[in-house]
Structure 1
Amino acid sequence: MADNGDNGGGSGGEGSQSRRRKSHYQRHNAQQIQRLEGAFNECPHPDEKMRMELSRELGLSPRQIKFWFQNRRTQLKAQHEKADNFVLRSENDKIRCENIAITEALKNAVCPACVRPDQSDEDVYLKEKKLREENAMLREELKRVKTIAAQYMGRPISPLHLGQPLHLSPMDLSRASSGHNGMTGLSLDPDLLSGSSSTFKTLPFQQIFISDMDKSLMIDVCRNAMNELIKLLENNSPFWIRSSADGTEVLNLEAYESIFPRVGRSPYVRIESSRDLGVVIMSGCLGLVDMFMDANKWMEIFPNIVSRASTVEVISTGLMGSRNGQIQLMYEELQVLSPLVPTREYYFLRFCQQIDQTTWAIVDVSYDFPQELHSNSQYRARRLPSGCFIQDMLDGRLKITWMEHVEIEDIRPIHSLFREYICSGLAFGVTRKLSALQRACERLTCLIDAANSFSHLGGVITSHHGKKSLMQLSQRIVNSFCSSINSVNGQQVMLSGMNDFEVRATLQKCTDPGHPNSMVLSAATSIWLPFSPQKVFDFLRDERSRPQWDVLSNHNPVQEVGHIACGSHPGNCISVLRAFNTSQNNMLILQESCIDSSGALVVYCPVDLPAITIAMSSEDSSFIPVLSSGFAILPDAGKKLGAGEMAVGSIVTVVVQIIVSNLTSGKLSQESVNTVNNLVGNTIQHIKAALNCSPCLD
């Protein structure tokens, strides 16, 4: 019994010692792990000095730091071994399938009835040996081609699946494979020659197969891109020089490529790079980070820049379900608000990482898939590491440091009206995005602020919900306007022969609940005016000058009967206008206007009085029909007046939408074509006449 008691006491002692050891175990918090991950990315094998610095900074012992790095290296090695094992298993399965195919081929090599009696087992063995040698030779040839392609593209090629053909990325295709003037031959449908074509374009990401090996490579690509972004965005970075033309920061390619060399760049590729810094009104980084990582919110922020966006797949989830460490494969289509400028398509990885308590970093980088994804024949675009720092200034504002760096190969010539605007980097550069972000955040602030009142027909509306409903209706109008210019879900129509400028239109089925079973014809064109964007904007949004050009109001006087401020600039607002002496006394015009350094918008839509009443009463306004028209105004300084003199002017895109209900056999009637041509043409002529534009400047 004594022995048993001693043993029991010893067992209890060992248990208490085990409990004491467990009580000393401490799980690292998220901040410590984040800092250790950053240090590991910089140096996986830290020296004693670095371990001591991390120990003091994180409140951990040097021994804990040492063990964490050892465990992290072991974990990373295991991940790579897992990926390698997956590749080897795939190759093994392929070879096994090939061997089975060879065996079956040998069995059926000749007809059994025709087998010569003198054919020995040695002949069969020699044939099988020959096939195996050819198989090995082909495997070596495939390995050699993959090695060459990897050196050319600057990254390893993912293992090909059985039966899947190899396609290089569009940026890696040489112009030597193109036809005349670098354009590939297309089989034309007869309808194309008559001025219309069906261009129903769907998002191609549904066909993407992402293997485990690809995901592993994507994670490595994102980490390298984040390291590059941090170095490019740090203060006093030597990679940027200030442009003497407009004062913007552009990338010093010589300094950049000395540190980040690019392999196999085509000589036809054009580099667009820019960096800018700004402040937006928003409390806390997480709200803005969520907008960046959510494709739908991303489009809501930039309706004038992002025409389509979607999250293809989440490659890596964030730490503990947060955005920190999340990696997404995304698709977006960027636009300039003009039918004369093709859109740009990107498939890219977006990686979000928290740097410290007040700073987040978001990096975008293109990933080269084996299959060709881009369906846009106008551009071949590839995004090099780009992105932004979001820093909380702890005063209700966020500091944004943003950079864009892309490679562009123009397949077709750029329209002369936009050549300077695009080649200077203004069209798709970071300054335009940052200005749009600042304007969107100001609008959100006004939406949240319930102190602003809305005056209507002598009364005052103070309901926050009513103002929110009206602002959401106005946002629908702006979104409809922006999406109609470069729409892909319809028939593209060229309207020519009646004006001295190109009018391009899109005929598409109306999905708006207010126009069931109807077709919408959206016509747009771009012109140059010899006035600053501010002057053109003031003229178009002023209700006193509206009768000079507005066909919708039959050139009758217009009065503003309602107003909502949407920003600090007096021109950023929503207005309700009433035209007098019209046949429809209950018809109003809902208009939103906004301007910043990158351009301006004046968008309007006819809305009847009951619909406005419904919106202001905070009822559901999603069923109210919208048919947007308006103007997009861009700055331009590339117009030559003669003798080398340059004029500062504006590029104005005019958009008109009408309902078409008299379609026969799915084709436009001449009456509809004449109507939309007259609307666009008369509007432009009246604007030019009111502004006293000189004919030589048209």
Structure 2
Amino acid sequence: MFQPNMFESHHLFDMTPRSPESDDLGKLRDDDYETKSGTETMEAPSGDDQDPNQRPKKKRYHRHTQRQIQEMEAFFKECPHPDDKQRKELSRELGLEPLQVKFWFQNKRTQMKAQHERHENQILKSENEKLRAENNRYKEALGNATCPNCGGPAALGEMSFDEQHLRIENARLREEIDRISGIAAKYVGKPLSSLSHLSPHLSSRSLDLGGFGNLGTQSSGYVGEMYGSGDLLRSVSGPSEADKPMIVELAVAAMEELMRMAQAGEPLWSTPSENSSDHQSLNEDEYLRTFPRGIGPKPLGLKSEASRESAVVIMNHINLVEILMDVNQWSSVFCGIVSRAMTLEVLSTGVAGNYNGALQVMSAEFQVPSPLVPTRENYFVRYCKQHPDGTWAVVDVSMENLRTTPISKCRRRPSGCLIQELPNGYSKVIWVEHVEVDDRSVHNLYKPLVNSGLAFGAKRWVATLDRQCERLASSMASNIPAGDLCVITSPEGRKSMLKLAERMVTSFCTGVGASSAHAWTTLSATGSDDVRVMTRKSMDDPGRPPGIVLSAATSFWIPVPPNRVFDFLRDENSRNEWDILSNGGLVQEMAHIANGRDPGNCVSLLRVNSANSNQSNMLVLQESCTDSTGSYVIYAPVDIVAMNMVLSGGDPDYVALLPSGFAILPDGPGLSGGGILEVGSGGSLLTVAFQILVDSVPTAKLSLGSVATVNSLIKCTVERIKSAVMCENA
């Protein structure tokens, strides 16, 4: 239960006096935290009516009538948390006291919560038993493993590929059982020690499994599963009741800091000049003087990254706030940056029917589209507030200090954005990114990009938002004139095709980064051109073909500006120069949807006319998008019948896709022709990624031949791209 003096203790920030309006976050409903009481009132004779020589009569309970219960049940379905006014109105209608109504709703909420917990408990126990049985099956398979050459027990370095695969799967199951058991222990009291019979050596995620044996130079290593184990997003639970007052105080103080950080000038922020990068940088000494407490001193080994950027975007402020406060929309709009995210608990939904005062605890993973840059995981609180001048602000701040965990490799100081309403549906956005991170695991190729702030900084967030706002505006456009190309003019067809392309882009972005949910494995040791692979079993997913999918990705540097690489890869006329799967056939654009001001932002439907008359033609869905911080060209083969359905406005969710493509990033700020530092005027960091269905049976075993084939495919594609763009740039 929140105490009235919760802002007077646990001062994580050096807080300055605030106006009453700044504390509207504290208006969390008392109903949510008060002690539950009975729903029935008792009647007893007054003191004047009692006989002192008689024992007091047993108190008589007042039970609600059937009508009263039915009315309150109906109201509960619409509003389980009535306010004072609603309770008084109900009490008048039903002939009850307001306190009786209040207690009835409290008990009803308690009853619903108990039913939900019982149901969840049954699901958890069932899942636990299934995992335990599957784990034992894998243990038995491993125990019976024999050497294929001599028939004796298999040595670790001589295991077959299938046995290595079982070891990886077993380790994943072991950690999954631990996670489920930890959750189930809350409800059934089963201690984690009950799982001590499992082999202790399976608890490590990192297994040294040796090589494949005599596979030549094509591949050396093992293929990992695309599953998470021990990662933040699956292990962090919501905050405890004792933490909530501190979270409220933390969020309010973070909002104050964000407002000052967004609006301050020099000396807190240095103004960019002709000889510096094109984003504002933070004066750390001045920051520490201005905010001496904050969330505590910077931990040893972490480096500060701070940036600020502003832009005018084509979206109204209400929709922008909704995107930021809805974790699904936020993850979708920023899919190139947010690889995974979830809301752990909503502490406040806001007031007056909007997000003013909304507060939620979240965890998220941030990425750069390359397997060479580790993702950044954060556990944080997000707070939204409308200020008296009409400006909306959304702030994030890390909460690692409120839980006992290993030292974090990344934490967010107050970061977020201010949104100011402009005429004609536009908004001005001021974005602040301020993190402390251990970036020592970043590959040398990407260090200049990360150190410049272009990889995770405010400029990338704002550029992505601006591009996505244009995309959304184009999807709602009407009266599209038909041009020379087969432009899709049907609103239903445009909407379905854009929705399908959005899912394709999201699937590509979430599968190409170095997420903790991915077990990438290196197949070759050629320096920067290492190929990373992982597998995924696709079952009962209408958006993917069933079977075993092999994902392969590699990142490399090329001395060609990003815009030239982007134009080359998105142009259907040059596709046969790099696309091995098109077999030299002529590529023709059949349909086109413009996605913004830049002609490179578009969704296309391509037809690959096979050079061999005996082969059927192929359709390819492609989306290309570009902004000042990076570009993408993402594509996937699609079924002709399914695309006809989509173009007529049908549901695109059941179209199976396996996206492949390219992420093109600048190698850091470079000098333009005028001698001014400019993004993308130097070379390019290019990530090439393929997803290929290697077996249509999900339970089949992955063959080494499939791995070698995909490895050769991606290397050949890389060489073709290098040869073509280098000649073009010469």
TM-score (norm 1): 0.68
Q: Amino acid of the residue matched to residue 332 of structure 2? A: E
Displacement after TM superposition at 1:612 (Å): 1.5
Question: What CA RMSD, in Å, does the superposition of the two structures yield over aligned residues?
Answer: 3.4
Residue number in structure 1 paired with 2:468 = 440
Q: Structure 1: state its 5+ residue gaps.
A: 1-40, 47-67, 84-160, 162-184
Counterpart secondary structure, 1:485: coil
List aligned pairs for 1:111-130, cutoff 5 A: none
Contact 1:571–1:593 (8 Å) recurs in 2 = yes
Find the aligned partners of 2:314 and 2:332 in 1 and give their Cα distance.
17
The answer to whether the 8 Å contact 2:298/2:436 transfers is: no
How many angstroms does 1:321 deviate by?
4.0
Superposed displacement of residue 212, structure 1: 2.8
2:504 to 477, 494, 507: 477
Deviation at 1:637, TM superposition (A): 3.9
Aligned pair 1:223/2:255, yes or no?
Answer: no
Find the counterpart in structure 1 of residue 724 from structure 2. 690
Matching of residue 674 in structure 1 with residue 708 in structure 2: yes
Partner of 1:347: 379
Quick one: structure 1 residues 342 and 439, their matched pair in 2 at CA, closer, same or farther if it must change by over 3 Å? same
Most deviating of 204-213 and 313-322: 204-213
User: CA distance change for structure 1 residues 449 and 186 in 2, over 3 Å: closer, same or farther?
Assistant: same
Q: What amino acid is aligned across from residue 261 of structure 1 in structure 2?
A: P
Shift of 1:667: 5.2
Q: In the alignment, what sits opposite 1:429?
A: 457
Question: Alignment partner for residue 363 of structure 2, among 304, 321, 331?
Answer: 331
2:647 matches 1:616: yes
Deviations 1:70-125 (CA, angstroms, capped at 9, x unpaired)? xx99x99x99xx99xxxxxxxxxxxxxxxxxxxxxxxxxxxxxxxxxxxxxxxxxx
- Letter of the 2:428 counterpart: K
Q: CA deviation at 1:533?
A: 0.9
Take 2:520 and 2:718, find their aligned partners in 1: how far apart are those partners? Answer: 22
- Whether 2:342 is the aligned partner of 1:310: answer yes
Q: Verify: 1:279 aligned to 2:297, yes or no.
A: no
Q: Which amino acid aligns with 1:431?
A: K
Amino acid at match of 1:541: R
Please say if 1:580 is aligned against 2:609: yes
Partner SS state of residue 540, structure 1: helix
Question: Taking CA–CA contacts closer than 8 Å with sequence separation of 6 or more, which of the two structures ends up with the larger relative contact order?
Answer: 2
Corresponding residue number in structure 1 for 2:682:
648
The equivalent of 1:598 in structure 2 is: 629
- Any conservation in 2 of the 1:350–1:363 contact (CA below 8 Å)? yes
Q: Amino acid of the residue matched to residue 342 of structure 1?
A: P
TM-score normalized with structure 2 length: 0.66
Query: Which among 428, 431, 442 is matched to residue 414 of structure 1?
Result: 442
Map 1:650-665 → 2, pairs under 5 A: 650-661=684-695
Alignment of 1:263-278 (within 5 A): 263-278=296-311
1:534 aligns with 2:568: no
Deviation at 1:662, TM superposition (A): 7.6
Structure 2 distance, partners of 1:413, 1:206, is: 22
Deviation at 1:517, TM superposition (A): 3.8
Q: 2:461 is paired with a residue of what secondary structure?
A: helix
Shift of 1:678: 1.5
Select which of 464, 473, 480 maps to 1:452. Answer: 480
Per-residue CA deviations over 1:14-35 (Å, capped at 9, x if unaligned) read: xxxxxxxxxxxxxxxxxxxxxx
Q: Is the 8 A contact 1:530 1:693 kept in 2?
A: no
Matched, 1:382 2:411: yes
| Displacement after TM superposition at 1:478 (Å) | 0.7
Deviation string for 1:548-576 (max 9, x for gaps)? Answer: 11112112221112111000111100111
Query: Secondary structure at 1:195's aligned position in 2?
Result: coil
Change (3 A) 1:490 1:225: closer
Contact 1:316–1:328 at 8 Å: present in 2 too? yes
Could you say if the C-alpha distance between residues 338 and 454 of structure 1 is closer, same or farther in structure 2, counting changes exceeding 3 Å? farther
1:162-173 alignment to 2 at 5 Å? none
CA deviations 1:193-235 (Å, max 9, x no partner) are 6434455336556653523331111111111111111111115
User: Aligned match of 2:489 in 453, 462, 467?
Assistant: 462
Name the aligned partner's letter for residue 276 of structure 1. E
1:68-217 matched pairs, under 5 angstroms: 188-191=206-209, 194-198=221-225, 199-201=227-229, 204=233, 208=237, 210-217=239-246
Q: After superposition, where does 1:360-399 map in structure 2 within 5 Å?
A: 360-372=392-404, 380-399=409-428
Q: 1:639 to 1:287 in 2, by over 3 A?
A: closer
CA deviations over 1:476-514 (Å, ceiling 9, x no partner):
111111111136556533221589711111201125426
State which drifts further: 677-686 or 200-209.
200-209
- Aligned-partner Cα distance in 2 for 1:629–1:214: 44
CA contact (8 A) 1:530 1:647 kept: no
The one-letter amino acid of 1:239's match is L
Task: Name the SS of the counterpart of 1:692 in structure 2.
Answer: helix
Residue 368 of structure 1: how far off its partner (Å): 2.6
State the Cα distance separating 1:461 from its structure 2 match. Answer: 4.2
Identify the residue that residue 66 of structure 2 maps to in structure 1.
none
- Contact 1:510 1:516 (8 Å CA) reproduced: yes
Distance 1:190 1:43 in 2: 57
Counterpart code for 1:361? A
Bigger mean CA deviation after superposition, 493-502 or 413-422: 493-502
What is the one-letter code of the residue matched to 2:660? S
Q: Percent of aligned positions with the same letter in both sequences? A: 41
Q: Is the 8 A contact 1:191 1:197 kept in 2?
A: no
1:293-332: per-residue Cα shift (whole Å, max 9, x none)? Answer: 0000001111111011111101223123420011111111
Aligned-partner residue type, residue 341 of structure 2: A
Q: How far apart are the structure 2 equivalents of 1:665 and 1:624?
A: 22
Query: Partners in 2 of 1:498 and 1:670 — Cα distance?
Result: 20
Q: What are the equivalent positions in structure 2 for 1:505-584 lying under 5 Å apart?
A: 505-511=533-539, 512-513=541-542, 515=544, 517-582=546-611, 583-584=614-615
Contact 1:346 1:382 in 2 (8 A): yes
Q: Cα deviation per residue 1:399-444 (whole Å; 9 max; x = unaligned)?
A: 001111111123x432110011112211100100100000100000
Q: Distance in 2 between matches of 1:531 and 1:356?
A: 49
Partner of residue 256, structure 1:
287
Q: Which residue pairs with 2:522 in the alignment?
A: 494
Which structure's CA Rg is the greater one?
1
- In structure 1, how many angstroms separate the alpha carbons of the residues matched to 2:395 and 2:429? 13
Letter in 1 for 2:207: D
> What's the offset of the Cα at 1:628?
0.6
Q: Report Cα offsets for 1:254-283 as digits up to 9, x if no partner.
A: 111112125443342200000011011013
Output the amino acid matched with 1:600. Answer: S
Measure the CA separation in 1 of the matches of 2:525 and 2:260. Answer: 54
Q: Distance in 1 between matches of 2:608 and 2:381?
A: 49
Contact 2:582 2:610 in 1 (8 A): no
Q: CA deviation at 1:471?
A: 0.7
Q: Mind listing any 5+ residue stretches in structure 2 that lack a counterpart?
A: 1-14, 35-185, 187-202, 212-220, 672-676
Q: Distance in 1 between matches of 2:648 and 2:431?
A: 40
Partner Cα separation in structure 2 for residue 420 and residue 459 of structure 1: 42
Q: Distance in 1 between matches of 2:323 and 2:448?
A: 32
**Which whole-Å CA distance do the structure 2 matches of 1:345 and 1:371 have between them?**
15
2:388 counterpart of 1:356: yes
Question: Matched residues in 2 for 1:617 and 1:580: separation?
Answer: 23
- Alpha carbons 1:391, 1:398 under 8 Å: kept: yes
